[in-house]
Structure 1
Amino acid sequence: MPIKAFLFDLDGVIVDTAIYHYQAWKRLANELGFDISEEFNEQLKGVSRTDSLDLILAHGNLTLPDEEKAQLATQKNEWYLELVSRMSSDDILPGVAQFFSQVRKANLQTALGSVSKNAPLILERIGMIDVFDAIIDGNKISKGKPDPEVFTKGAAELGVQPDECVVFEDAVAGVEAGKRGGMFVVGLGSPDVLAQADLVAPSLQDLTVDEVLAKSGR
């Protein structure tokens, strides 16, 4: 089947808000009496807010009731929003604008597939809210990555089949989600970390649409 759509994760692909997530989670952990490192934070990439909190609490050997966990997740999000509210088009990663220009020229549909409930806000801040034909975020899914729901819903909203899609991801959980969804997956980052991806490049700046279509073999 020919490729008809490109599906993109947000964090680490279009923008890099990982540092803001890390700063907010670190602040939360510190207030709970322990710390998290940047190395530990790598485990949280592509993971939902609730699941990230569970990993952090386990790291700190804490068990809390659901009501308190919900309050903590809300507090973390408020700190995170304070940081991302300052974002602008200057925060778009290098090569993204050029790559999307090629996507449009190739008449490919686009969807965002992010577990972040703040994805629309970020897209508005960076001026890319109208770039996507479909936006699937944490408000539209019930299962986080590595479950493929965020991408299969994106394909469904675009009216295409999974094997007609290419997913662009920077996280292990996201790569697994794309593969489980039956899609060709481009990993953006380290080949050692994203070994499950069908094609790996450092970033969108290092790819062309023609190259991706050729490598997908579809």
Structure 2
Amino acid sequence: MLEQMKGAIFDLDGVIVDTAKYHFLAWRSLTEELGFEFTEEHNERLKGVSRMTSLDILLEIGNLEFTEAKKLEMAGKKNRLYVEYISQLDQSELMPGVKEYLKRLRKRGVGIALGSASKNALFILDKLNIARMFDAVIDGNKVSRAKPDPEVFQTACHELGLQPRECVVFEDAQAGVAAGKAAGMQVVGIGKPEVLREADLVITGLHEL
């Protein structure tokens, strides 16, 4: 699978860098204002989904309802907090083995793309000093449908000029694995095999490769 691939499409959070902790802190700050507790267990439900979908899940947890205008305002506030946190990012926060594996893929002539729901993806890649290693960056600014919809991976595949069967997706979330499979691609899951059962291969991190 990995030897034959012509394109590698990576999720961002939990695969390239662990920004989940910053999402958690920003969401928790918002829920404290709203008057309910937001736990790390709750945060697991937000992995791999868009900002507005995350907010909907959050409000469901708190059993709250707001107008669309108010929800947009809250999502904007959360994002400003998140951007404050990630503005301090540097290369030291790359997940183990990421830079080495990307270099190896480039040497082999494999196309490299990012497929993330994050609207801050390019900002984060710049902070990590690896933006130049990607041939295509597909993020929440370029697609409208959140994972498990395959749109983000289909778009990345198209920008690489490849067919789905030629691409492998690297994902840490169930929704992302489902999106990769729906796009007709093979998927490497990064995390626990019992959680990422639909993946073709499960590893603990890119350092294994």
TM-score per shorter chain, which class? over 0.9
2:100 to 98, 101, 105: 98
How far apart, CA to CA, are the structure 2 residues paired with 1:69 and 1:185?
33
- Superposition pairs of residues 1-218 of structure 1, within 5 angstroms: 2-207=4-209
Secondary structure in 1 matching 2:133 = coil
Aligned to 2:132, what secondary structure does the other structure show?
Answer: coil
Offset of residue 106 of structure 1: 1.5
Distance 2:164 2:174 in 1: 19
Percent identity reads: 54
Distance in 1, matches of 2:103 and 2:68, equals: 45
- Equivalent position amino acid for 1:13 in 2: V
Normalising by structure 2, we get a TM-score of 0.97
Structure 1 residues 95-148: Cα deviation after superposition (integer angstroms, max 9, x where no partner)? 111111211122100000001000000000010111100000000001010100
Runs (4+) of structure 1 exceeding 2 A deviation are: none
Secondary structure (helix, strand or coil) at the match of 1:110 reads strand
Query: More displaced, 69-78 or 198-207?
Result: 198-207
Q: Tell me how far apart the structure 2 counterparts of residues 172 and 9 of structure 1 sit (CA, whole Å).
A: 12
Deviation at 1:162, TM superposition (A): 0.6
Shift of 1:177: 0.4
> What runs of 5+ residues in structure 1 fail to find an aligned partner?
208-218
Provide the C-alpha distance between the structure 2 equivalents of 1:140 and 1:104, rounded to a whole number of angstroms: 24
SS at match of 1:135: strand
Work out the CA distance in 2 between the residues paired with 1:153 and 1:184.
16
Q: Which runs of 5+ in 2 are unaligned?
A: none
Amino acid at match of 2:9: L
1:3 positional shift: 2.1
Post-superposition offset of 1:152: 0.2
